[in-house]
Structure 1
Amino acid sequence: MTQLDLVVRGQRVALPDGIRPAAIGIRDGRIVSTAPVTEAVDAVRVIDLADDEVLLPGLVDTHVHVNEPGRTEWEGFATATDAAAAGGVTTILDMPLNSIPATTSVEALEVKRAAARDECRVDVGFWGGAVPDSLGRLADLANAGVYGFKCFLLDSGVPEFPPLDAVRLHTAMTEIAAFGGLLIVHAEDAPTIAQHTLAHAPTYAEFLGSRPPEAETAAIEQVIDACRATRCRTHIVHLSSAAALPAIRAAKAEGLPLTVETCPHYLTLAAEQIPDRQTQFKCCPPVRETANADLLWAALGDGTIDFVVSDHSPSTPELKFAGDGDFAVAWGGIASVQLGLPLVWTEAAGRGFGLDDVVRWMAYGPAHHVQVAGKGSIATGSDADLVVLAPEETFVVDKDALRHRNPVSPYDGRTLSGVVRRTILRGVDVDLDGPRRGRLLRP
């Protein structure tokens, strides 16, 4: 047999059938063998894991707002992918907003690709946008290489990415279903939000009341009805409200092509603990109460929620703290692509889940459901994207040491378990000071 480029071996390797001892053989950037850890190897390089380390597949984060070009001062490809690599994320998919232009046409996708080229530390794919002006041309954008289409059912917060009303939502889903594509939906109901909107919200309780659970439930029920009518593959992004879980469970039991994600902040933060005027905690939909998070965790455990991704959505500190602590004025979004793995692992371990569950939620799940080929598992034929994690080691989050562009984080000062000691992209160690080897992906 031809000599291997690399073998990584250890007592705890997260394989598709569970965590067990194994030696992973790598050649030309791909996994070519899984062997007993004691088997003799012929390899250019061998990495032996320490006793406190576990080998995981590289995480796949399909919900990242990079914002370049146009709003690179919020976040750019260099800083976003540095943060991803530092956190064990080896693949990200970039959202079609808040860059300028938004990724709603083939021409805009090429602008986005040009901005990303040679700037990425990890592999990057792209979502397209389903907005009123892009309807009728979505197949062209799919053929140009996006993984699917994002839409909003209410104001997105940026003028270049308007929402779809009920009629246009059905139109988009019919169009996307015709070529087997995927629609991902920010599901909050515009009329419900309009009824609760506040001009000022200096307390978190006021802000939480302005984004009620019934806004998510109404929107998700609307999306489910359209999914039933069109049979379009449909995905609900950043589910925050457990009140929508019964409708989601019923839709899945019916066999509708529906998947759902949630995010670390909805699983690890609690409304009761958010201080007033601390707008680093603002996101939309909002972080809800502890009892709500308990129900989200149960839904992860029973498979109602399919996976967990960051919704990394940064801005400048000036926007994040606009209004001097007014939640109604400040930009909504939490930057956490670097912290997703330790955040989820810390909370999951305390709830009796294992690292194999975290791998299913944060690596295999997003790769499988979004169809990001070759990613998300330590299996023969997959890309050799790997993470060496010390799950029992703890650290304290320092917002100024995080790699995303602007030093804002609701997790500053929080103690977490799970230190990423090494990230490997296609068989080569990621050097955060070295060359950028990330590729631009297409479905």
Structure 2
Amino acid sequence: MSEVTMRRGSTQRLLIFALCVLLFHVSNSIVQEAVFYIPGFHHTVLLTFTQSLCVSLFAALQLYRSSPVKSASPWRRLVEARRVPLRTYFMISIMNTTSVYLTNEASRLLSYSTQVVFKSSKLLFVWLVRYIAIELPARFEAKEVLIAHDFEEVEVQQQQQQQQQQQQQHTTPTKHDTSEISSGFVAVNVCLPKPITRFSPPCSELSFTGKSSHNNGNINNNNNDNVIHSLSHAAMMHPKMMREAASCVTVVVGLILFTYATTSTRVAKGEGDQDQSWWPVFAGVTGIVVALVCDALMYLGEEKYCFMTHNATHDEVQCYVFLLSTLNGLVSLILSGGVEESILFVNNHHVFLLLLLLCSLCNYGGTFFLLRIISEFNSSTATVVTSVRKVVTVLCSYVVYPKPFGVAHFAGVLLVVGGIWQYEEARKMHGSHTRAVGAKHEEEK
């Protein structure tokens, strides 16, 4: 698609989707934490693989039910319902698997609070990548189309002006100059034709000049309207960009402040772990930065190359991304050499299967509504929702397990809420401006 044509949903619809994402993902975090409390569990690759497998099965079932293609074979029906190339899905699944693996490794090398601090900056990465890959090309293309449209209008007006000039030359009577030539004693008056040029005498030029100036006025008016439209569009986009950037920074600062307050409380109580060397910190920070880049590329791929380019459905994207992520997880599990140990762990702890089923259901529900936010709004809005999810998860832990709640916690929550409100206001401002410009163009047509 040549322009950003994402649908601008209502605030109520976004609120419903956000609440569903928070409900499912917070439940997923609680169940997943229970999995980690199983005695002897350290199989994060097994958890990633089995979770992706369950989610892909749920998504495949939903895609089979909602697919308009009526085929006898279920596999053929799923294949014919695909709109996006497999290469695109494979690249997105690579980003997804890499991000999950590096995040788990960063959680192992760093403390949980430190991992959350760095993971909170995902909003800035997604916003920056989306602005470079989607917003800037759309704006440049819109400017080129506007300039080409202006040149076409000027050429049409000039052609009309030349045609009117030619018609005026044919319809205007020929003027004559009378000059006296003496021939002996007889004065003879000879009529000589005088050609009409653009600098012709005023009598014939007045009507044409008036018409020409009128046409020139139309050209200038059209150009002025286009220039005013361009300036108003640019003036509208600049505040939107600044407010989006400010809201992203505000949300990240709030999350960092909230997490820092939580870390300080744990250290004061003696629950924090001291780092023995700088190498785990360096490796963990490097891993989380690469994971953030993978997250940004994954959101960008889903928004631009799945929903915008191929108009794919949510069930299709979810099914194929997690199906290929399952294959990636299986390869990782085989290469790690932990297949036999993982099977032995599952045989000894059957509760893992129940928790895995609940965790997969919650993950599927949260991912489903998160994809709806990406397709109907944009990836930056989805990242804001996931950032709020982190605060809600920590708040739920404060409710379940009473802990000190100080001024820094309260300030962090206020910054997060204020950043979300600012981002939503920028989104609504841009949506109202787009609708107003569309209505104006419809009236002109």
- For Structure 1 versus Structure 2, the TM-score category normalised by the shorter chain is under 0.3
Q: Which has the larger radius of gyration?
A: 2
Higher strand share: 1
TM-score, normalising length: structure 1:
0.20
Greater share of residues in helix: 2
TM-score normalised by L of structure 2? 0.20
